[in-house]
Structure 1
């Protein structure tokens, strides 16, 4: 089973986590049966099961045969582990991209130097000529990296590198591959061409609009509305 949850299962997982945080499962920490959780959230039992399996893999729950599913008690060391961007869901990642990437594109349109613009054009050309999804995805990431480098903002650049690291994970690649039909790839190519063109033309307003349009299209195709 893939580690990437569907949108509904991801929402169920978030709802269960909120119930855990609110202490809704008593001192024993025992969760209701899958059937009752499915009824509570108005979803299929299989959707609940996917969310519980994911939470168990992440060390949040302990499933005991014949006894049920329990909140896992964590050690002080485990509790101190910092949250990282790699812990985010695809929906969360795409929501942040939708916020960050238009602003980065607008900044790049006003700050990019000639070397950075040349790199952007090269990455765009390579992505348009990519022979398979893996090569396309690699140059797609380079286009976005080039835009963030051109912002001259170290925080934005660090964010982009973190996103690109997530995109290299097998589960994320499989999600992208399933959503990337030939028609969508042609659409992304057109959007990339227009976006890079706006940056080359030093048009921050158009770069913002096109980057947001592209990020929204990718979000809908990957995780839904």
Structure 2
């Protein structure tokens, strides 16, 4: 794991993180819209004073997140999926208080699986230590409220491990919805000992995949976890 962390650090030193943050910020702000063509690698390399290899690594990450598509001879384009991350006009924003648990789960399944790619690239030893602490404390929790707190803290740790402010902001909004009475009622009714054990196993699988820097497996396990939560909350049968 140490070698892979060092590699992540080298990417930062080469300026890859700066380019990644720029692209993510432009997408979130709605300035890079679906169908828009990104500048060529050489231009990005010159603009951010980084190597072409660093540019390719950043673009590969965004392609992995399905936020861009690349075609030989045509270039690099922003995808329709990127529109899901764009901030709406403030006048059109829906209050977190009016967001239902069902709406929240749909949004989480669209957004949170984007995080593993960034976590694998950017997470530090301290980030993984925080994840492990959250897992240990959630498993030791004696009440539903305590378990829910540390479950929330684990997902917060995942967002912070992306080292991207957008995902932290999304997590904060998620927690506002989770603080509503309706979410708490559904969680209390669905958090049986069997379901809690299932969540604990899934948490460990997600963090283990991230620790191994396996973004694909972590994304799969995280989506499975979110789908399981949705089924348990709303009594959906397989």
Normalised by the shorter chain, which TM-score bucket? 0.5 to 0.7
| Alignment partner, residue 134 of structure 2 | 123
- Provide the TM-score with structure 1 as the length reference: 0.61
User: 1:155: how far off?
Assistant: 1.2
Three-state SS of the structure 2 residue aligned to 1:131 is coil
- In 2, the alpha carbon distance for the partners of 1:175 and 1:200 equals 31
CA contact (8 A) 2:159 2:171 kept: yes
Alpha-carbon displacement from aligned partner over 1:1-52 (angstroms, at most 9, x marks no partner) = xxxxxxxxxxxxxxxxxxxxxxxxxxxxxxxxxxxxxxxxxxxxxxxxxxxx
Within 2, Cα distance between the matches of 1:148 and 1:92? 20
Higher relative contact order (CA 8 A, sep 6+): 1
Match status 1:137 vs 2:148: yes
| TM-score of the two chains, using structure 2 as the length reference | 0.58
Spell out, residue by residue over 1:50-103, the C-alpha distance to the aligned partner (whole angstroms, 9 max, x if none): xxxxxxxxxxxxxxxxxxxxxxxxxxxxxx795223311211110111111111
In the alignment, structure 1 segments of 5+ residues that lack a partner are 1-79
What corresponds to 2:124 in structure 1? 113
Q: 2:157 aligns with which of 146, 155, 164?
A: 146
Alignment of 1:141-180 (within 5 A): 141-180=152-191
* Structure 2: tracts of 5 or more residues without a match: 1-90
Equivalent pairs, count: 146
Range with greater deviation from structure 2 (81-90 or 161-170): 81-90
Contact 1:109/1:207 (<8 A) preserved:
no
The counterpart of 1:197, out of the listed 190, 194, 208, is 208
Tell me which stretches of 4 or more aligned residues in structure 1 moved more than 6 Å: none
| 2:195 paired residue among 184, 187, 207 | 184
CA-based RMSD = 1.6
Which one has the largest radius of gyration? 1
Work out whether residues 209 and 218 of structure 2, in 8 Å CA contact, stay in contact via their aligned partners in 1: yes
Select which of 200, 217, 220 maps to 2:228. Answer: 217
